Chains A and B, each alone.
Chain A
């Protein structure tokens, strides 16, 4: 999902022509098994590969968009160096532990917008025993301004994020890191589009929801019934 968001966001940000610093952060590698859901022109660190691709293909020499790649997973030890007040963060990770970490860090910052998306895998939910179709996904938008929450944090309405059953990638064992759950490409693509839509609405001051839910099998996408973002200054 992150690679889709990165590519389209780079097109959008570049088109604005304003000075913007766009930082891709990912400690993961492009591998052969990724080819069923992602396209990439080289193996290696995802942030580095995509950054190189965008630098070579999309950006004009006079572009005001400054691209940077950081080949690290976000974790407790580096998050203060990576995410600062004033940043807008688009979070496209595959675990709730990182969502919690980033949300809690953003709660310490005065001004920030965190947009986090995800979709179900095709798997049996370990907690409920329910078979997940992999067609559901959601996007959450956590906005802070002048030290005040304008919308709910990622954990407020999501106990599974507040108390995650999974781990940040840097805490995984080698065996755990190799495990992967099948995903439906189209659910992944829809979540990526929902992240980009939310970013665009936020950046234009028109965002009217704090969480958006969808299910591609049922043909539904609608805001969750939680408080909409308060109007900032």
Chain B
């Protein structure tokens, strides 16, 4: 519709979010966003929460390193960033060191 503002299309990421055909989660509900850490990913009712609140609430469930960096769509986000619906919040997981 003319004049209607469209939400900018996020950069394509792999392994998370509603457009992932392998995602078993329905993020249609407005307060849902996807939280990922390493191979773990889950749609959770975290929209409206800050990154730090998500980290505190789910650190045990996802085994999130308290010092890990947080990213949304490949961009770093600070602890006070408020998560929007349908976003994919990734907490980094340290790479395997051994070979």
Residues of A within 8 A of B (CB): 1-2, 92-96, 99, 117-121, 125, 127-128, 130, 136-138, 140, 152, 154, 157-161, 166, 181, 183, 187-188, 191, 208-211, 213-215, 218, 220-228
**Distance in angstroms between the alpha carbons of A208 and B97 in the assembled complex:** 23
**Distance in angstroms between the alpha carbons of A221 and B38 in the assembled complex:** 9
Prevailing SS type, chain B contact patch: loop
B11: A residues at CB distance < 8 A: 227
The 8 Å CB contact of A188, one of B38, B39, B66, B98, is B98
B13 an interface residue at 8 Å Cβ cutoff?
yes
Residues of B within 8 A of A (CB): 11-17, 22, 34, 36, 38-41, 65-67, 69, 71, 73-74, 88, 90, 92-99
A119: B residues at CB distance < 8 A: 96, 98-99
**Distance in angstroms between the alpha carbons of A28 and B36 in the assembled complex:** 36
B15: A residues at CB distance < 8 A: 209, 222-225
**Distance in angstroms between the alpha carbons of A181 and B22 in the assembled complex:** 35
Chain B residue at minimal CB-CB distance from A209: B14
A213: B residues at CB distance < 8 A: 38-39, 93
A121: B residues at CB distance < 8 A: 97-98
Is there contact, CB below 8 Å, between A181 and B98? yes
**Distance in angstroms between the alpha carbons of A119 and B95 in the assembled complex:** 7
Is there contact, CB below 8 Å, between B67 and A127? yes
**Distance in angstroms between the alpha carbons of A188 and B90 in the assembled complex:** 25
20 contacting pairs across A/B (C-beta < 8 A):
A2-B99, A96-B95, A118-B95, A120-B97, A125-B94, A136-B96, A157-B92, A159-B69, A160-B94, A181-B98, A208-B14, A213-B93, A215-B38, A224-B14, A225-B16, A225-B36, A225-B88, A226-B13, A227-B73, A227-B74
B17: A residues at CB distance < 8 A: 225
**Distance in angstroms between the alpha carbons of A112 and B47 in the assembled complex:** 39
Is there contact, CB below 8 Å, between A120 and B98? yes
